């Protein structure tokens, strides 16, 4: 076996990014909008800090992305009644529709992968990816 682990990971990353790009193009989303929508939960509102963290962005960069998501009607921003400084975010109907479509497309991709693996291989792959994620 001549492949290095890192080369295999980067190859897998490239394939996943191609899939993400095709999904983003289908919906006309920027990379930041895509990350924002996919980071939101359907039924769990969050604040700006939490969403920025889930997107892997600084709070200042996250705020700019959130403003764009609100402007494009993907999420709704509301002031918390208990603390007027706290902004509560949740998916708008448009964001819900797109997130459902994205989730469906990703689930189809997952099913294709799973169809080529045994249950044991799936369990082992998950364990290996979790372990690899903890290595770096």
28: left (phi over 0), alpha (psi -120 to 50) or beta: left
pLDDT category at 1 given cuts 50, 70, 90 is low
Q: Are strands 75-79 and 87-91 parallel, antiparallel or unpaired?
A: antiparallel
Higher-pLDDT residue of 82, 25: 25
Residue with tokens 């897998």: 12
Contact 48, 78 (CB under 8 A): no
pLDDT in tens, 88-121: 999 999 999 999 999 998 899 899 999 999 999 9
Global pTM value: 0.81
The average confidence (pLDDT) of the chain is 91
Give the C-alpha separation, 68 to 93, whole Å. 16
Complete domains list, the chain, with CATH: 5-135 (1.10.10.10)
């Amino acid at each position: 076996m001549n492949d290095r682990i890192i080369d295999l990971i980067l190859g897998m990353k490239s394939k996943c990014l191609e899939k993400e790009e095709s999904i983003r193009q289908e919906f006309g989303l920027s990379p930041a909008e895509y990350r924002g929508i996919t980071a939101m939960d359907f039924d769990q509102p969050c604040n700006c800090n939490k969403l920025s963290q889930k997107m892997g962005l600084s709070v200042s960069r996250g705020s700019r992305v959130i403003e764009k998501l609100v402007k494009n009607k993907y999420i709704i921003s509301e002031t918390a009644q208990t603390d007027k400084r706290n902004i509560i975010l949740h998916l708008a109907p448009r964001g819900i529709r797109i997130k459902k479509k994205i989730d469906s497309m990703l689930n189809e991709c997952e099913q294709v992968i799973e169809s080529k693996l045994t249950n044991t291989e799936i369990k082992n792959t998950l364990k290996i990816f979790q372990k690899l994620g903890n290595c770096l």
